[in-house]
Amino acid sequence: MVVLKNIPRILSPELLSVLARMGHGDELVLADANFPSASICKNGPELLRADGHGIPPLLKAVTHLFPLDTYVEAPVLLMDLVPDDKARGLRTPVWDQYKIIVNNAEGKEIKVELLERFSFYERAKKAFAVVATGEGALYGNIILKKGALPAEE
């Protein structure tokens, strides 16, 4: 926990460091409890732990500090349902929460793209970091592409 003014307490010092070191176009994965975070990070992204935390409050805290990329069509990516889960009508209400959070953070509607499961894993392997959370929602994984801040005047 960090105790600083205007910094959400859910953000660990390690996660704050990652957010600060990321550059324009780098990607951050917020991974649900079922995501293979350790194996995805074996040869690539930094692995951070946020056990016990759900993704919605973490996403709200991250997007409080983290600009989304305005130079890509969809700076937010979600793992799409596999065909069997689509066929049986599995619902993903957490996605609606994510959309509300990112839209509120950016002050406008943000395009969200769905990636096929294994494409999502491959994309995650190229991320700057993966945050392993305690999120219990199925298909709760989300990738955020960092944007740029305008120059100070």
pLDDT at 2 over 90: no
User: 48-103: per-residue pLDDT in tens?
Assistant: 999 999 999 999 999 999 999 999 999 999 999 999 999 999 999 999 999 999 99
Cβ neighbours, 10 Å, residue 91: 11
Band of residue 152 on the pLDDT scale cut at 50, 70, 90: confident
**Which amino acid, 42?**
K
Enzyme catalytic residues: 24, 69, 121
User: 103-120: per-residue pLDDT in tens?
Assistant: 999 999 999 999 999 999
HEC letters along 17-81: HHHHHCCCCCEEEEECCCCCHHHHCCCCCEEEEECCCCHHHHHHHHHHHCCECCCCCCCEEEECC
The DSSP-derived string for 82-97 is PHHHHHTT---HHHHH
